[in-house]
Amino acid sequence: MTLPAHSHVEEITRRRTFAIISHPDAGKTTLTEKLLLYGGAIHVAGAVKLRKTQSRHTTSDWMELERERGISITTSVLQFAYEGHHINLLDTPGHNDFSEDTYRTLAAADAAVMLIDSAKGVEPQTIKLFQVCRMRKIPIITFMNKLDRAGRDPFDLMDEIEKVLGIPCVPFNWPIGSGSDFQGVYDRNTRRLYRYERGENTGERKQAEEITALDDPAFVASLGERAHAQLVEELGLLDAAGLPFDQDLFLEGELTPVFFGSALNDFGVEPFLMKFLELSPRPLPRATATGPVDPHRDAFSGFVFKIQANMDPSHRDRVAFVRVVSGKFTRGMEVRHVRTGKPLKLNKPLQFMAQERMLIEEAYAGDIVGLWDSGALRIGDSLHAVEAAGNFEYEGIPRFSPEHFVRVVLQDPMRRKQLKKGLEELSDEGAVQVFYDPILLEKDPVLGAVGVLQFEVIQYRLRAEYGADVSYIRLPYQLARWVEGEGFNPRKFDDPGRTACLLDVEGRPLVLFQSEWMFNRAKELNPKLTFIAAVQPGRAHR
C-alpha cells in the first residue's frame, strides 16, 4: 500500500466523527446546538420545546413532525469546523422507538458522548445505547448535564455509571454545589475555576479563573468557607481513591472521562468540546471479511449507514449517507457498488447542516457524505474505488426483527400507486419493514417496527409526502423471526391470532408469533427449521 500525500494525512488527522447518545429529555439536542454555536455553524441556538409564537427551531430537527412534537425522530448529520478540526456530529434520536436509527448510526461513529441528566442518572435508553457502544468498542466521554438544577450527588452518579454500565469514571472537572447553590466547576488538570453565572448565555466565551492554590484566601472568599471546605474534601477523596486517566483504556471503551456542566445555559460546553477533540480518536479502521481497512489506505472506500427520503419535499429526493472509511473521495468519481458488482458514478456529493446542504468537491476518511441516490443504494452497502485491490465488503448493518405489527388500510383505493411508492421509499430508510401475504400478495401490506411511534411517523409522512391517507389495524403479534430450512411450509403457520407467515420485500419468509411461548413451541415442532432474529440484505444471521 502506498501512503497518501502529506496533506491527505493531515486532513484525516483533523477529522472527528462522533454521536451523542442519551435518554429522552437529557438535553441532547440542546447540547448539539451549543456545540454548533462554538463551531460558528449557527448564530442563535434553537429552542427544543417551542411556544406557538416562536419561529426558531433546533437546527438538527429538520422534519416537520419533529418540530411539532418537540422530539428528534431521525438522525441528523451536522458538519462544522472548530479550532482546526473538521467535525462530523451525528445527532441521534433519544426516544426508544427510534433506537434502530441510532444503532445504525453508531456504526459510522468513532466516539460517542454519553449525556446524563444529573437529576435522573443512568436511564433505560442510555443503558441500551451504551451496550451498543460497548459491543462496537466505541470510546465514550460522559457529560453530566443540568448541574444548575437540583440533582444527585456527583459521587452517587459516578457510582451508578460504574455499577449499572460497568465502566469506571475519571472526572476531569468537579462541580461546586448544585441547583441554586451551583457556583461552577473546578478543572482538576489545569487548576482553573469556571465560574457559573445565572441567566441564559448563547456562546459567549468566558475566561477561567486561575487558581494558584486551593487554600488561596481570595479563592476561599470567592466560594465561601462552606463550599470551599466541601470542594477540598471531595477533591481529596478523588485524589486518594479515584482512578488515574488512561488514554489506552479510554480508546478501548473501558474507561470514561466525565465532565459536569449545563448545556441549556451553555456552561462548561466549550471546555468540554476542546478536551473532547483532544481525547477522541482520529478516524478508525473498519472491519471487512478479509481484515480491517486502514483510513490511510490510498484508495477510497466507504459504506452506507443511512437512507433518507424527501429531505427536500419539493424535489422528492433520496439521499444515502456514506461513512468514508479510507482514502479521498472526489466529486464525479466512479466507484464499485460491491453488492451489485456494477460501477456507480458519484456526481452529487453533499454535506449537511440538518436539511441545509451544499455540494462538495472532496471528502476524507472520517467524513460523512450524502449521495443523491436514484434507488440503487441500500443501508449496509459497501462502495470502493474501481482501482482498489480486491473486492472487500464492510461488515453489514443488520435489520432487526420487529416487535409491533399493523396492517395498512388505504383510505382511497385510487391512491394505491402512491402508497406503494411511499412504502418502498420509506421502508428503505430502515425505520419500518414492509411485509406481504405469501399467498395473496395484493392484500393490504403489513408494517413491522421495533417501536410503535414509527407507525405514527410513517402515517404522517405517507399523507404529507405522498398524498396517501392510511389507517392501521393492530395485529396481536409480539415476536417475529425469519425462517430458513428444508420443508418450510407457510401454511403450517397460518393460525390467525396465534401465528402468521409473511414475506419481506426480498421474498424471505417471516413468521409472526403471538407470544414467546408460541415461538418456543414452533421451534420444538420444527427442529429442521432455523429461526433468525436479524438479517442483512441478501444474508441472514442467527
**pLDDT (mean) for 401-425:** 92
Q: 56 falls in which pLDDT band (50, 70, 90)?
A: very low
Compare 276 and 129 and report the one with higher pLDDT.
276
Domain boundary among 360, 385, 410: 385
Residue 318 within a domain: yes
Q: What is the DSSP letter of 52?
A: T
Q: 317 falls in which pLDDT band (50, 70, 90)?
A: confident
Q: What is the DSSP letter of 272?
A: H
pLDDT of residue 313: 61
Q: Name the phi and psi angles at 13, rounded to 5.
A: -60, -30
Residue 469 within a domain: yes
342 and 422 co-located in one domain: no
Q: What is the mean pLDDT of the chain?
A: 84
Q: 96 falls in which pLDDT band (50, 70, 90)?
A: low
pLDDT of residue 402: 85
Q: Is the pTM of this model over 0.85?
A: no
- Say yes or no to pLDDT of 535 above 90: no
- Say yes or no to pLDDT of 428 above 80: yes
Residue 86 within a domain: no
Residue 6 within a domain: no
Among the listed residues 186, 145, 21, 172, the one whose alpha carbon sits nearest the alpha carbon of residue 89: 21
Tell me: the pLDDT tens digits for 2-28?
A: 444 447 788 999 999 999 988 888 888
377 and 438 co-located in one domain: no
**pLDDT (mean) for 329-335:** 94
- Say yes or no to pLDDT of 48 above 70: no
Number of domain units in the chain: 3
Cα→Cα distances 262→48, 457, 527, Å: 15, 31, 56
Strand positions, DSSP E, 265-317: 301-309
Strand positions, DSSP E, 8-70: 15-22
Length of the chain: 542
The lowest-confidence range among 37-41, 147-151, 347-351, 528-532 is: 37-41
Tell me: the pLDDT tens digits for 269-284?
A: 999 999 999 999 999 9
Give residues with Cβ within 8 angstroms of 257, minimum separation 6: 141, 142, 169, 170, 171, 172, 245, 250, 275, 279
Q: Which three cell numbers stand for residue 174?
A: 468537579
Residue 172 within a domain: yes
58 and 153 co-located in one domain: yes
Is residue 354 within 8 Å of 78, Cβ to Cβ? yes
104 and 173 co-located in one domain: yes
**pLDDT (mean) for 457-483:** 93
Placement of cell 437546527 in the chain: 59
pLDDT of residue 459: 93
pLDDT of residue 46: 41
Compare 371 and 209 and report the one with higher pLDDT.
371
**pLDDT (mean) for 138-147:** 95
Helix (H, G, I), strand (E, B) or coil at 239: helix
Instruction: Return d(Cα 396, Cα 535) in angstroms, integer.
Output: 9
Domain boundary among 327, 360, 385: 385
Residue 47 within a domain: yes
pLDDT of residue 9: 86
Instruction: Return d(Cα 85, Cα 43) in angstroms, integer.
Output: 19
Compare 257 and 198 and report the one with higher pLDDT.
257
**pLDDT (mean) for 304-311:** 82
pLDDT of residue 315: 60
Q: 229 falls in which pLDDT band (50, 70, 90)?
A: very high
pLDDT of residue 176: 92
Range 428-461 burial, b when 16+ CB lie within 10 A, else e: bbbbbbbbbbeeeeeebbbbbbbbebbbebbbbb
**pLDDT (mean) for 525-538:** 81
407 and 264 co-located in one domain: no
pLDDT of residue 47: 33
The lowest-confidence range among 190-204, 384-398, 460-474 is: 190-204
Among the listed residues 537, 538, 466, 426, the one whose alpha carbon sits nearest the alpha carbon of residue 101: 426
Cα→Cα distances 153→150, 176, 250, Å: 10, 11, 24
pLDDT of residue 119: 94
Domain boundary among 352, 385, 418: 385
> Residue 90: beta bridge partners?
19, 77
**pLDDT (mean) for 313-339:** 88
74 and 136 co-located in one domain: yes
94-108, 207-221, 375-389, 431-445: range with highest mean pLDDT: 375-389
The lowest-confidence range among 278-282, 399-403, 520-524 is: 399-403
Categorise residue 376: left if φ over 0, alpha if ψ from -120 to 50, beta otherwise: alpha
Placement of cell 429529555 in the chain: 25
Q: What is the DSSP letter of 407?
A: E
pLDDT of residue 51: 33
465 and 335 co-located in one domain: no
Compare 305 and 389 and report the one with higher pLDDT.
305
> Residue 343: beta bridge partners?
336
Instruction: Return d(Cα 237, Cα 233) in angstroms, integer.
Output: 6
CATH code for position 312: 2.40.30.10
327 and 447 co-located in one domain: no
pLDDT of residue 199: 60
Residue 210: which domain range? Answer: 19-78+93-279
Residue 486 within a domain: yes
**pLDDT (mean) for 139-166:** 95
pLDDT of residue 55: 39
- Say yes or no to pLDDT of 35 above 70: yes
Q: Name the phi and psi angles at 434, rounded to 5.
A: -105, 135
CATH code for position 501: 3.30.70.3280
The lowest-confidence range among 24-38, 103-117, 163-177, 387-401 is: 387-401
Instruction: Return d(Cα 101, Cα 310) in angstroms, integer.
Output: 17
**pLDDT (mean) for 318-332:** 93
Q: Which three cell numbers stand for residue 192?
A: 482553573
338 and 467 co-located in one domain: no
- Say yes or no to pLDDT of 61 above 70: no
What percent of the chain lies above the pLDDT cut of 90?
47
Placement of cell 429552542 in the chain: 47
The lowest-confidence range among 36-45, 60-69, 358-367, 424-433 is: 60-69
136 and 223 co-located in one domain: yes
Q: 60 falls in which pLDDT band (50, 70, 90)?
A: very low
The lowest-confidence range among 67-71, 359-363, 422-426 is: 67-71
Give residues with Cβ within 8 angstroms of 282, minimum separation 6: 12, 13, 15, 16, 110, 295, 366
- Say yes or no to pLDDT of 152 above 90: yes
Is residue 40 within 8 Å of 80, Cβ to Cβ? yes
Residue 145 within a domain: yes
Among the listed residues 173, 111, 112, 114, the one whose alpha carbon sits nearest the alpha carbon of residue 143: 114
113 and 167 co-located in one domain: yes
pLDDT of residue 445: 93
Q: Name the phi and psi angles at 224, rounded to 5.
A: 95, 145
pLDDT of residue 159: 97
What percent of the chain lies above the pLDDT cut of 70?
84
Q: What is the DSSP letter of 511?
A: E
62 and 143 co-located in one domain: yes
